[in-house]
Amino acid sequence: MAENEVVKEDLTYSMQTAGAELTKRMDEVGLKPAASLWLYVPDRNEWRLILGIPGVEEEGPMKAYTTLQTALNARPIEGFNLQNILLTSERNDLFVALRQMLGPRPGPDIHNIRFSKNVIGNLFIDDAYIYRL
């Protein structure tokens, strides 16, 4: 019996640099993500840039998405559109779990931390590339 094997989509160097650039750009437009990382989603065989934005939990994400889209329209980053990006609360369970495991990375610096094949509590992280926690 033949088995279907899914080949994992690579996180390319251009994606890594684009994610760092977008995180910095968001700082410039006032969104200031408390957390920023690429997360591999095995069910969809794709990478998503997930950003934890202060205030999103209370205000909802629409204002932040509008600000982000305006910034991307003014100065596009190749290969990015809103479908690649998830804006969520800085208190998202994923960020909380990663901070417990890795510790917070204070300040606005961009860190390049690869975190793969780990379980934190009941959360399995296949692969992640972390800029900020």
Mean pLDDT of 105-119: 84
Residue positions counted in the chain? 133
Is the separation of the CB atoms in 42 and 126 below 8 Å? yes
Tens-digit pLDDT profile for residues 11-59? 999 999 999 999 999 999 999 999 999 999 999 999 999 999 999 989 8
- Is the per-residue pLDDT at 105 higher than 80? no
What are the residues whose beta carbons fall under 8 Å from the beta carbon of 93, sequence distance 6 or more? Answer: 123
Please state, in angstroms and rounded to a whole number, the distance separating the CA atoms of residues 73 and 38.
Answer: 21
- 82 against 14, higher pLDDT: 14
Task: Please give the model's pTM, rounded to 2 decimal places.
Answer: 0.89
